[in-house]
Amino acid sequence: MYAILCVDDQPASLNALSFIVRSCGYICLTALTAEEAVSAFEGSKVDLVVLDNDLTTTNSLALAKRLKQVRDVPTLLLCRTSVLDKPGNVDLVVYKPIESRGFSKILQWVIRKSRSTSVA
């Protein structure tokens, strides 16, 4: 079973995101702060990080970089607005609002891609 760490400092958004991830059949770890995210990431086998771009207490890209320094796992950045280029330390940018079935396919694709890359 794959584990996904979801990071969002808005409790309602984090609950909705974790519901979608769990309904897709994944283990979902959640974090409201950067400190919680790092602690969960270091204490568990995380296969994928889903990170909200609009964190108010920390820079999302700095957190992505910090997590990648611990262990290189795929990172999805959830954005409300368009970004011109995919930021470094992020593997994929996904735009809000997300829809359960489409997001499930994205999660499957990213995990499958990361597994095939790590085996090669």
Residue spans per domain, the chain: 3-119
Contact 50, 76 (CB under 8 A): yes
pLDDT tens, residue by residue, 72-83: 999 999 998 776
Would you say 49 and 40 are in contact if contact means Cβ atoms under 8 Å apart? no
Q: Which residues contact 119 (CB under 8 A, 6 or more apart)?
A: none
CATH 3.90.330.10 fits 3-119, yes or no: no
pLDDT tens-digit readout, 4-21: 999 999 999 999 999 999
Residue 1 identity (one-letter amino acid): M
Secondary-structure breakdown of the chain: helix, strand, coil percentages, each rounded to the nearest 5 = 45, 20, 35
Q: What is the pLDDT of residues 55-65, one digit of tens each?
A: 998 999 999 99
Higher local confidence (pLDDT), 89 or 73: 73
The pLDDT score that the predictor gives to residue 98 is: 87
The pTM of the full predicted model, rounded to 2 decimals, is 0.91
Q: Which two tokens stand for residue 94?
A: 């996904």
**Cα–Cα nearest to 107, from 4, 1, 12:** 4
Q: Average pLDDT, stretch 24-37?
A: 96
Residue 59 dihedral angles phi and psi, to the nearest 5°: -80, 120
Cβ(24)–Cβ(104) below 8 Å: yes
